[in-house]
Amino acid sequence: MSSLASLARLIRSKNAGPFVLTFDIMFEDEARYRRVRDSGVLTRERIAGLYNLPPDKVQLFFCDPALAVKASIPRPVTQGDVGDADGHGGQQYAPLMEIEVP
């Protein structure tokens, strides 16, 4: 088993507008990308569980030509509202790093 963080070249989060967070998981080579993609550990249900959301609120895309995975979820608080502790959404990727990949 390996952590997603050890297999990915980059895991990041950012705003996709004031109401949506998006996550990018990028890989350096096709073998690592396929290992993660084919393992089945990255699912809407898994991401929803990490962020306490219903699975139908998660959009998940595997982009084979780019060796990348993209997921988008609603922001827990609208960007800039009172209680928004991460205005750029740049610190929200951390739970993804610990996903174990066989």
Is there a domain that residue 55 lies in? Answer: yes
Is there a domain that residue 57 lies in? Answer: yes
- Provide the number of structural domains found in the chain: 1
**Beta strands per DSSP E along the chain:** 2-3, 10-15, 20-26, 59-63, 68-74, 100-101
- Tell me which DSSP letter residue 23 carries: E
* Parent domain of 61: 2-77
Tell me the per-residue pLDDT of 38-49, one tens digit each, with 9 for 90 and over: 999 999 999 999
85 three-class SS: coil
Q: Whole-prediction pTM value? A: 0.93
Tell me the per-residue pLDDT of 61-79, one tens digit each, with 9 for 90 and over: 999 999 999 999 999 999 9
Is there a domain that residue 98 lies in? Answer: no
Is there a domain that residue 73 lies in? Answer: yes
Specify the pLDDT at position 60: 98
CA 96 to chain centre: 6
- Cβ 75 vs Cβ 19: under 8 Å: yes
